[in-house]
Amino acid sequence: MITAERKPLAEIKESIASYKKLLILGCGSCVAECASGGEKETALLASQLRIDAKKEGRTLETKEMTLDRQCVYEFIDQLAGVIGEYDAVLSLGCGAGVQAVAEVFPRAHIVPALNTTFIGQTKQAGLWLENCRGCGDCKLDFFADVCPVTRCSKGLFNGPCGGSKNEKCEVDPDTPCAWQLIVTRLEERGKLDSLEKVHPPARWSKKEGKGPRKIAREDQRT
């Protein structure tokens, strides 16, 4: 999933300071799973902003809505006829959601309430870990299902570096050394010899390409 964290209240307040009527828009997908922008978090933020406005003697009218997906037009369309009633939209979607809504409603001001962070997994309740950088050239099979691009702090394809100690990364003692994991898993599978060859430089063109990437599939077009 795409993970995100809510921006600090002070930053959100500053960006919506000139608005009196706000549509607060959650998203029921990834950001709901990582408890930053789902229905519950949307309601919480709306009430925080209302209480805060009341305390400061301002008027703030809010409406809460949560779309199944803020990044897909068929769900964004639910905002037609609603969005025009508000000064601005405070979006608890990821960066893709904010931009998709803004594209559908070019005259509306969509204010992001989240900092989109990474593609990751839910490790346990309240803990999410980054494990994919979307490099466009997946080599997980080669690295025993541990991504060196993402999980090695230096993104080494021929690790581990000299900073691997007691199975931890020198950059952050809470982070396991990805290369320790790779070596251990390959050893357990009896495939350590697969690392003998120097892994060639990555094809970052799959990630950087010619600017923003797109996926175009004729078979999906109607």
Q: Which residues here bind other proteins, judged by CB under 8 A? A: 153-167, 170-171, 177, 180, 183-184, 192, 195-196, 198-202, 204
Number of helices and strands (H, E) in the chain? 7, 7
Minimum distance from CB of 199 to other proteins (Å)? 8
Instruction: Work out the end-to-end distance of the chain between its first and last CA atoms, rounded to an integer number of angstroms.
Output: 27
Cα 126 off chain centre by: 15
Q: How far apart are CA 52 and CA 38, in angstroms?
A: 21
Q: How far is the CB of 115 from other proteins (least distance, A)?
A: 15
CA angle 116, 121, 125 (to 5 degrees): 95
Distance CA 29, CA 136 (A): 22
Q: Which is nearer to other proteins, 63 or 185 (CB)?
A: 185
Shortest distance in whole angstroms from residue 179 CB to other proteins: 8
Cβ closer to other proteins: 62 or 180? 180
Residues 33-66 as b/e (b if ≥16 CB within 10 A, e otherwise) read: ebbbbbeebbeebbeebbeebeeeeeebebebeb
Tell me how far, at minimum, the Cβ of 187 lies from other proteins, in Å. 8
Q: Name which of 95 and 155 has its Cβ closer to other proteins.
A: 155
Smaller CB separation from other proteins, 81 or 200: 200
Q: Which is nearer to other proteins, 98 or 177 (CB)?
A: 177
CB 61, min distance to other proteins, A:
38
Nearer to other proteins, 114 or 195 (CB): 195
Burial 165-174 (b: 16+ CB within 10 A, else e): eeeebeeeee
Q: In the complex, what is the shortest distance from the CB of residue 135 to other proteins, in angstroms, rounded to a whole number? A: 12
Residue with tokens 């009196």, as numbered in its chain: 20
User: Residue 189, by phi and psi: left (phi above 0), alpha (psi -120 to 50) or beta?
Assistant: alpha
